Amino acid sequence: MEITVWPPGHLQWRGKRVRCALGRGGVRVEKREGDGATPAGSFPLRRVMYRADRLPAPETGLPVRALRRDDGWCDDPGDAAYNRLIRTPFAARHETLWRDDALYDVVVELGFNDDPVEVGRGSAIFLHLAKPGYAPTEGCIALALGDLLALLGDCDGETRLSVGDAAPGENR
């Protein structure tokens, strides 16, 4: 299955189209750490992580694991664990995955800059829950909870997410 994403905030799969939030830096082919951009390209969906204290495991054909309180994601280009799941406390710069807000109640790891990891190319690119009003992200793709759960129900290990700078079939 192919999931298609394009500005200013559209996501489509199997004839369904929903609103999403994209990075504050737009969509970029040349993604860099800290630029706030959503990377352009086609990416596999690696796994789903979720807050088991807030909701049941999402139904999906993707690997699923419950988040732990000490889960984090290294976003420090100077660290060997860059763009990897880590355990906190962690000395290098990192993002906490166990959040007080709901943004990571369901979070999908995208296969961006992970095979192999290129230092400084960008990290922690996820599908996750949108802020109210679909405020821009730091580079991730964010959806309403119901939309993300519906999407995950159609996903399996062959699913790819493609981000472009224009709607499907539109020339730029």
- Domain layout of the chain by residue ranges: 2-163
pLDDT tens sequence across 21-57 = 999 999 999 999 999 999 999 999 999 999 999 999 9
Q: How far apart are CA 37 and CA 26, in angstroms?
A: 5
- Which of 163, 140, 129, 144 lies closest to 29 in space, CA to CA? 163
158: left (phi over 0), alpha (psi -120 to 50) or beta: alpha
CB atoms < 10 A from the CB of 48, how many? 21
**8 Å CB contact between 46 and 72:** no
Is beta strand 160-163 parallel, antiparallel or unpaired with respect to 2-6? parallel
Q: Once rounded to an integer, what is the mean pLDDT over residues 134-154? A: 98
Say which CATH class 2-163 falls into. mainly beta
